[in-house]
Structure 1
Amino acid sequence: MKMTREEGINKTFPGISHLVILGAGASIASTMRNPEKNGKELPSMNNFIDVVGLNDIIEELPDEVQDDNFEKLYSNLHAEKPKSDEIKEVQRRVRDYFSDMELPDEPTIYDYLILSLRPKDFIATFNWDPFLYQAFCRNMDKAPMPHICFLHGNVAIGYSDEDDKTGPSGMYSKRTGNQFEPTKLLYPVAEKNYNNDQFISREWNRFRTRLESDDTKRVTIFGYGAPDTDVEAIDIMKEAWGGAEERNMEQFELINVIEKGELRETWDDFIHTHHYDYGKSFFDSILAKYPRRTGERYMHQFLPTTPAEAFQEPFPVPQDVDTLEELWDWYEPLFEVERA
């Protein structure tokens, strides 16, 4: 017999951590479902210059600096004019563009995501936009939240070198009075040395620890296609993960509009044989089908005495809620079990 919805909600296990890795595609997907409050568009690296409004600067740059991909163009510019006015203006406009962004009042994919994980779980994001942090803040009073790290900095996050602590960008520590200085966003592709920045080094060390952990049995990669510009990042991830043969019990999940075969090939070094799932939407994911119980769903397959018992009835999140209050009400039975 298969486990019912109620049994799935009521059964919790310690450990078994779920790691979620977010790329630009996750934020783009979020704004496609519920637009940014002021109508701002989330850019990709291929339309970044147009969307952010950098054309007047870029048009004046020499031909040898030009590239359709913004990260490569920035790397070329940094190599030619590392302390130029152009560099400073690009950095200012990028920060200003993302800093003004705000989640809509309605539930977004990031609200679903943050509510579908528990404190034993972890989110690592490559994104500069403030959406994940905003979702964290507006849901944190309803349930214990997962841990978060920001692998490429974030407009909402500041850091105090003296305290080795993060906080809202521009604000001050209540304990020490030190300011949380804005985190660095732009790195030249050829010099993405994460150890050169104290905050970034700290975040990558936290991420690496999670990848290495034997408790990390589920990994979801949402909207991140491992671009050529992130070679160093992928190398660090490979070293920490240890290879597909060594992680032969772990389950990967890929959420992306990129076709399944191409995406599977990209992550081949991480996935053991058939141990992966694929979907084009967050709502296709294990997170949406078994929210806050993805670790329990993973363990359930090893507990039954017969194959038929391995099937567990899903309890998917509702997609038709209009308010955060409705969403919180739906999750409340899960929260109650955890509190008890």
Structure 2
Amino acid sequence: MNRKEGINNVMAGGGHVVILGAGASIASTYRNSEKGGKALPSMDNFVEVVGLQDIVDGLPDKLKARNFEDLYTNIHNDNPKSHLLVEIENRIKAYFSDMQLPDEPTIYDYLVLALRSKDLIATFNWDPFLYQAFSRNYHVGSSPMLAFLHGSVIIGLCKEEGVRGHAGTKTKNGNIFQPTKLLYPIARKNYNDDEFIKSEWDLTKHMLSKDSGTVRVTIFGYGAPESDAEAVSLLNEAYGTSLEREMEQFEIIDIAPDEFLRQKWNGFIHTHHYNTTNSYFNSSLAQNPRRTSESFFHHYQPISPGEMFREPNPVPTNFKTLKELQDWHRPLIQAEESASQ
């Protein structure tokens, strides 16, 4: 199947779930920095980047930790009602809330355009980048579902109408989208305690389940930290054992070595049905945008031997404007619209 045939080959089945961690946002800003030049922190440099060092300096040594998740856990376990928890929350919101994507195409723009309405992007990140990329590409064609597993500074919930949107703005009926709770990384989270977070997890667990028809899962920059044991447990529970997912393809985008990643995600991987890469642009999302499921079916469940040879359609990496990136995807979108008629 040549490239043109691949563009016009549109299947209804299958689905792709992409799970984002801090590494995805960091990778995005490495390529195109945040509009105001703000850095994206990892859990190891979170204190310095966000500006929490004065709080840490005032803590007793027994509560201090290099990793922010461990630090927060220590403070919370010592005193769940500590005023420091409120101060930390306020500073985090202040740091992330005014972040903006640059005008140039970012990895998040590529990612949103690479998927369709049958796919899901679930993020653990508090930053607004995914929502901003979704909003500025939504008009181009069908877009993936989104889930914010730890909340986000940009996402609000209207409980009266049961809808979510940009925090602080109004619904169609004039109600305000109230900011969602940010679930900070304490060792045991109860995701059912928060209405919004529960709904985000319910969607993600369904899409990860075998019943959903999902055939690809990509982990992008999420390290599955030990302090987030409950989240990892929920992902495992939803996906099932690797023995139950003997055909699905598991993909990891991360700068860590292959052997380390293989071991960390071993419970999700069936034999050789996985791949790792340290670059988004070498992933299935960039090699076959909007056709990741079709590519899977041709490689792993071919109807005939000839179908195994499918020419990839890699998205160019050098677009200077968002319009150029969107225009490149239009033939793919037009084929999808024709197939649905």
| CA distance, structure 2, for counterparts of residue 309 and residue 149 of structure 1 | 34
Matches within 5 A, 1:240-259: 240-259=238-257
Amino acid at match of 1:293: R
Residue 220 of structure 1 corresponds to which residue in structure 2? 218
Query: 1:326 offset after TM fit, Å?
Result: 0.8
* 1:219-254 CA-partner distances (Å, limit 9, x unpaired): 011111211111101111111111000110100111
Corresponding residue of 2:110: 112
- Cα separation, 1, equivalents of 2:293 and 2:264: 25
1:29 aligned partner: 27
Which among 320, 323, 340 is matched to residue 322 of structure 1?
320
Contact 1:43 1:51 in 2 (8 A): yes
Give the secondary-structure state (helix, strand or coil) at the position aligned to 1:133: helix
Amino acid in structure 2 at the alignment position of 1:319: T
> What SS is found at the alignment partner of 2:244?
coil
What corresponds to 1:137 in structure 2?
Answer: 135
Structure 2: segments with no counterpart, 5+ residues: none
Report if the CA contact (8 A) 2:191-2:197 is conserved.
Answer: yes
Cα distance, 1:107 vs. partner? 0.2
CA contact 1:81–1:87 (8 Å) conserved in 2: no
Which residue is equivalent to 1:76?
A: 74
Post-superposition offset of 1:311: 1.5
C-alpha separation in 2, matches of 1:87 and 1:223: 26
Give the conservation status (yes or no) of the 8 Å contact 1:123–1:146: yes
SS of residue in 2 equivalent to 1:216: coil
Larger mean CA deviation between 34-43 and 214-223 belongs to 214-223
Instruction: Give the match for residue 199 of structure 2.
Output: 202
Residues in 1 aligned to 2:41 and 2:184: alpha-carbon distance in whole angstroms:
17
Equivalents in 1 of 2:120, 2:231: separation in Å? 17
Within 2, Cα distance between the matches of 1:151 and 1:188?
Answer: 12
**Could you tell me whether the CA contact under 8 Å between 2:206 and 2:212 is conserved in 1?**
no
Q: In the alignment, which residue of structure 2 is the partner of 1:263? A: 261
Asked if 1:294 corresponds to 2:292, the answer is yes
Quick one: distance in 2 between partners of 1:303 and 1:77?
54
Q: Which one-letter code corresponds to 2:163 in the other structure?
A: K
Q: SS of 1:189's equivalent?
A: coil
Say whether the 8 Å CA contact 1:128–1:155 is kept in structure 2. Answer: yes
Contact preservation (8 Å) 2:65, 2:71: yes
Distance 1:64 1:185 in 2: 25
Pick the aligned partner of 2:14 from 7, 13, 16: 16
* Whole-angstrom distance in 2 between the partners of 1:72 and 1:162: 36
Q: Is the 8 A contact 1:120 1:146 kept in 2?
A: yes
1:56-79, CA deviations, whole angstroms, 9 ceiling, x for partnerless residues?
A: 111111222111111111111122
1:165-207 Cα distance to aligned partner (Å, 9 max, x none): 21111122222x3322111224352331111111111111111
Give deviations 1:113-166, integer Å, cap 9, x for gaps.
000000011110001000000000000011111000000000110112333221
Partner residue in 2 for 1:65: 63
Query: Which deviates the most, 293-302 or 245-254?
Result: 293-302
Counterpart position of 1:211: 208
Instruction: Quote the offset at 1:43 in angstroms.
Output: 0.2
Query: Which region of structure 1 is more displaced relative to structure 2, 284-293 or 309-318?
Result: 309-318
In structure 2, C-alpha distance between the alignment counterparts of 1:245 and 1:339, rounded to whole Å: 36
3-state secondary structure, aligned to 2:215: strand
Moved over 6 A (4+): none
Count residues with an aligned counterpart. Answer: 336
Structure 2 counterpart of 1:180: 177
Measured after TM superposition, the shift of residue 32 of structure 1 is 0.2
2:268 aligned counterpart, secondary structure: coil
Secondary structure of 2:327's partner? helix
Aligned-pair identity in percent equals 55
Instruction: Answer yes or no: is 1:4 the counterpart of 2:2.
Output: yes
Residue of structure 1 equivalent to 2:273 = 275
- C-alpha displacement of 1:304: 4.5
**TM-score, with normalisation over the residues of structure 2?**
0.96
Q: Assess if the C-alpha contact under 8 Å between 1:78 and 1:188 holds in 2.
A: no
What is the alpha-carbon root mean square deviation over aligned residues? 1.2
Q: 1:305 aligned to 2:324?
A: no
